[in-house]
Amino acid sequence: MGLRFVMVTTFYPPYNFGGDGTYVRRLAHALLRRGHQVDVIHDADAYRVLSGKEPEPVVEPPGLTVHRLESRLRTLSLLATQQAGHPVVHGHRIKRLLDEGDYDVIHFHNVSLVGGPGVLAYGDAIKLYTAHEHWLVCPSHILWRHGREVCTGRECLTCVLKHRRPPQLWRQSNLLERMTEHVDTFCALSQFSADKHAEFGFPAPMTVVPSFLPDTPPLEGPVRRVHETPYFLFVGRLEKIKGLQDVIPHFGDDAPAELWIVGDGDYAPELKRLAEGKRKVRFLGQRPPESIPPLYRDALALVTPSVCYEVFPLVVLEAFKEATPIIARRLGPYPEIVDQTGGGLLFHDPASLQRALTAVAGDAALRARLGAAALAGFQARWTEQVSLGRYFQLIREAAEKKGRRRVLDALASAAHHDGPRAEAG
């Protein structure tokens, strides 16, 4: 007997931009593999309006039902939610889906445009909320003040105008504080993110539930290098907040290796201008997911130079899984990751970045040591088994508090099965 889950999220593939939608899909598929039923409720118009395009469809496995919210009003529908903090246009449908679904667990993710904080009151089930950004405490989501610096104190009105977004009326009320009472557990993907929410006044405690990558069988036999040229790797959106503008100047003709850049974004033209004449900088564009692991595997290190507060970058797990270390800015969750695992080096200025690049490129023993630590850290902290174990522990604790016997019985039953179902314990 499995549980009935529903994920409520603004973005879900293919209608998504980055890590939050990918995480939701990854979690949904992991739950399906464990014999649970999973539905997803998301707002397709949010992606359409913000991207200006229609994505290519994706195929979902049997047992997963996606409820896609769409409206002829589109922009007005999203603006109404953004301003009121409630699902003004789609509220009736969301409420009906949650009431009729007989769900055991409602898991909210990024609800900024699918319903705002008001949607947290909908449905009667165990409720979890995972913070993929800092939207709960930041109108611009990323604590990037005035579009030029990390936020160290609230200047929200002028900041949100700098980001060219309308101020949110609901943030002038106590709506968020009232709605948090409807959620059993708020989850963070890193201790840094949990601490940052507390620092900016979020009223509820947060529990760290580690991110994860799906379990895959190990490669058989010796792994052959596909790329012989020594290179450092960057994978991600090409935006100013990702910090590549501070890395590219280090890759002149005398650089000890090349810099390979995977991804695209609004800042790509500026980065390409910065790289003009630098033969050791290669822009590879967007790549299909199946082509990325060999790029990680052969890289000297993954460079993660974000100048904003990341929550928890999935690219780190993708690199660590391939025993590839990171060279990361000493900011956000990166000190936490490196301190926990020893799987990389940190930098804070151009000189320390240059020292890290030179050391990793020139010392094979150092690379091997950092890579082994990265892989060991991944296996100990961020596998599917570890993450889902913590996830089900939180569900069990909430079920015990609320007296949800069906949930407790299902978890007990799953614990007696072999394979993925055993991870519910």
- pLDDT, averaged per 10 consecutive residues of the chain (425 residues), comes to 94 91 96 96 96 93 96 95 96 97 97 97 98 95 91 90 88 96 98 97 96 78 72 96 97 96 95 97 93 95 97 96 97 97 98 98 97 97 96 98 96 67 40
pLDDT of 219? 59
Q: What is the largest CA-CA distance in the chain?
A: 66
Same topology, domains 4-214+384-424 and 231-380? Answer is: yes
The answer to whether the pTM exceeds 0.85 is yes
Q: Round to whole Å and give the CA distance between 260 and 28.
A: 32
Contacts 24+ apart (CB under 8 A), 294-297: 294/226, 294/227, 295/227, 295/233, 295/235, 295/260, 295/262, 296/233, 296/235, 296/321, 296/322, 296/324, 297/223, 297/225, 297/226, 297/322, 297/323, 297/324
Buried b (16+ CB within 10 A) or exposed e, 266-300: ebbeebeebbeebebbebeeeeeeeebbebbbbbb
> For position 236, what pLDDT does the model report?
94
Fold of 231-380: Rossmann fold (3.40.50)
Q: What is the pLDDT of residue 228?
A: 82
C-alpha to C-alpha distance for 18 and 236, rounded to whole angstroms: 9
CATH superfamily entry for domain 4-214+384-424: Glycogen Phosphorylase B; (3.40.50.2000)
Do residues 271 and 202 make contact, with C-beta atoms less than 8 angstroms apart? Answer: no
Domain ranges, ordered by start, for the chain: 4-214+384-424, 231-380
